[in-house]
Structure 1
Amino acid sequence: MDIRPVEPADLPALVDLACAVFGPFYLDSFRPLAGEIVFANRHGDWQEDYRRHLAGVHDPAQGRYAAVAWAGDEVAGFAGWVVQEAERHGEIDIVAVAPARRRHGIGRALVEHALREIKATGVVDVVSVGTGGDDFHAPARALYESFGFTPYPHVNYTKAL
């Protein structure tokens, strides 16, 4: 496995991977739980949301960085992180691992890479990461907790009018 900074040519593969990874969450977890009105309002165009978000996932001038893990000639996963120098804060923004590549240490390697890069800036004292509290996100929570991240309870309510 090779981990390197994201390049513009990687973006279509990253969008495809994000949609493959997170599609089951939006369609099978969030949508049934939230209902059609909330789903349509909050995440009805989730695939386009990923296209927009990932277009700026690696923009060092804006403190945004990303790395992609390649296994042979295919994207095995990627991670994006943000460095907020003025706040001395870093945030792991996104981690996605191809379903067929899970449980092979790729997510761990990407988080280690992001943490190493964040620390190397010398301007970050604290790093945070957010994820869902549902069953879909349980593996992500376990990964982050294995790195010593402390979960902070948070509840977000949404209601259709």
Structure 2
Amino acid sequence: MDIRALRPEDLPVLHDLVCRVFGPFFEESFRPTVSETVFGNRHGDWRGDYAKLLAEAHKPQEGRVAAVAVVEGRIAGFVGYLLQKDERHGEIDIIAVLPEARRHGVGKALLDHALTALKAEGVDVVSLGTGGDDFHAPARAFYESAGFTPFPTVSYTMPI
């Protein structure tokens, strides 16, 4: 496995990857739970939102870094993280691993890569967030196994 910085030519592959990884959340978990008004307002263009996120994900001069994991010549996952140097704080913004690459160390390698890079920049504390629904249960277990401490929150949304 090779972990390297995101390149502009990776964007179409990464967009397909995040749509494949997170599509089930948006379409099978979030959408059926909330009204169509809420879904449309918050995540109606989730595919487009990911295209925008990915286009801005790797701007090291602005404290945003993204790296990809390449396994057997194919991108198997990626991580995006934020560096807040003045606060000595980092944030894991996104980790996505192809379903067939899970449980093979790709996510751990990406997380370790980000944590090592953030520590090298003088970061003392790293945060991340994930969903509390069933879809995100494997992510929560992964983060807790890596040493992150969960703090539950509740987010409410309604149409008016």
Match of 2:127 in 1: 128
Match of 1:72 in 2: 72
For residues 148 and 68 of structure 1, what CA distance do their matches in structure 2 show? 22
Q: RMSD value over aligned CA atoms? A: 0.8
TM-score between both structures, scaled by the size of structure 1: 0.97
Q: Matched residue of 1:22: which SS? A: helix
Counting only pairs closer than 5 Å after superposition, residues 3-152 of structure 1 correspond to structure 2 as 3-122=3-122, 124-152=123-151
In structure 2, what residue type is equivalent to 1:37?
Answer: T
For residues 61 and 113 of structure 1, what CA distance do their matches in structure 2 show? 18
Task: Identify unmatched segments of 5+ residues in structure 2.
Answer: none
| CA offsets 1:126-159 (integer angstroms, 9 cap, x no match) | 1001000001101111111011111111111000
Aligned residues: 160
| CA offsets 1:66-89 (integer angstroms, 9 cap, x no match) | 110011221100001000011111
TM-score between both structures, scaled by the size of structure 2: 0.98
For residues 149 and 45 of structure 2, what CA distance do their matches in structure 1 show? 31
Question: How far did residue 16 of structure 1 move?
Answer: 0.9
| CA offsets 1:106-130 (integer angstroms, 9 cap, x no match) | 11111111101110112x1110010
Match of 1:160 in 2: 159
In structure 2, what residue type is equivalent to 1:134?
Answer: D
Q: Matched residue of 1:92: which SS? A: strand
Percent sequence identity over aligned pairs: 62
In structure 2, what residue type is equivalent to 1:147?
Answer: A
Task: Identify unmatched segments of 5+ residues in structure 1.
Answer: none
For residues 114 and 147 of structure 1, what CA distance do their matches in structure 2 show? 13
For residues 124 and 70 of structure 2, what CA distance do their matches in structure 1 show? 30
For residues 35 and 72 of structure 2, what CA distance do their matches in structure 1 show? 40
For residues 34 and 112 of structure 2, what CA distance do their matches in structure 1 show? 34
Show structure 1 runs of 4+ deviating over 6 A: none
For residues 12 and 78 of structure 1, what CA distance do their matches in structure 2 show? 13
Question: How far did residue 60 of structure 1 move?
Answer: 0.5
